[in-house]
Structure 1
Amino acid sequence: MAKPSAKGPIRTVQIFCVKCKFQLFKYRKGGKGALVKCFKERIVEDYTIEEGVCPSCNAQFARSAMIRGVPALKIVGGKVHMK
């Protein structure tokens, strides 16, 4: 499979924890579908301390994975909300 676009999308979305409404990061998202994965190279601002864990409520919202040979975060369904 092809790697994600090196240029990357322009649209930036804010990712929030559903449980406590804490802003987790800003992400350059491509497409208009649901947020399933976040490529680490597309994260603009990261507000988390530990990768995949909300610093406010300690809920795990993602786990680390390699997707198409690129490091990414696989989002756990229903744990995050994007604006």
Structure 2
Amino acid sequence: MAKPNPKGPVRTVDIYCAKCQSKLFKYRKGGKGALVKCFKERIVGDFTTRAGTCPQCELTFAREVLIRGTPAYKIIGGKVTMK
């Protein structure tokens, strides 16, 4: 399969923790569907200290995976919101 376009989309979204509403990522998201995965190369701003864990409430919101050979975060359903 093809790798995701590294330049990616222009539209950015802010990703927040669903529990404590702290800001986690600023991400270049393509399409208008739900947030299922975040490719690491598309993350513009990372506000977390540990990978996949909220810095305030210590909630695990994602797992590190390889998708099509590219490092990404697989989002756990209902743990994050985006605006």
- What range is the shorter-chain TM-score in? over 0.9
> Mind listing any 5+ residue stretches in structure 2 that lack a counterpart?
none
Q: Shift of the alpha carbon at 1:6?
A: 2.5
TM-score with structure 2 setting the length: 0.98
For structure 1, the residue ranges without an aligned partner over 5 or more in a row are none
Q: TM-score, normalised by structure 1?
A: 0.98
> Which residue does 1:32 correspond to in 2?
32
Superposition map of 1:2-81 within 5 A: 2-81=2-81
CA distance in 1, matches of 2:62, 2:6: 23
Q: CA deviation digits over 1:7-38, x for unaligned, max 9?
A: 21000000000000000010000000000000
User: Kindly, what percent of the aligned residue pairs are identical?
Assistant: 69
The CA RMSD measured in Å over matched residues stands at: 0.5
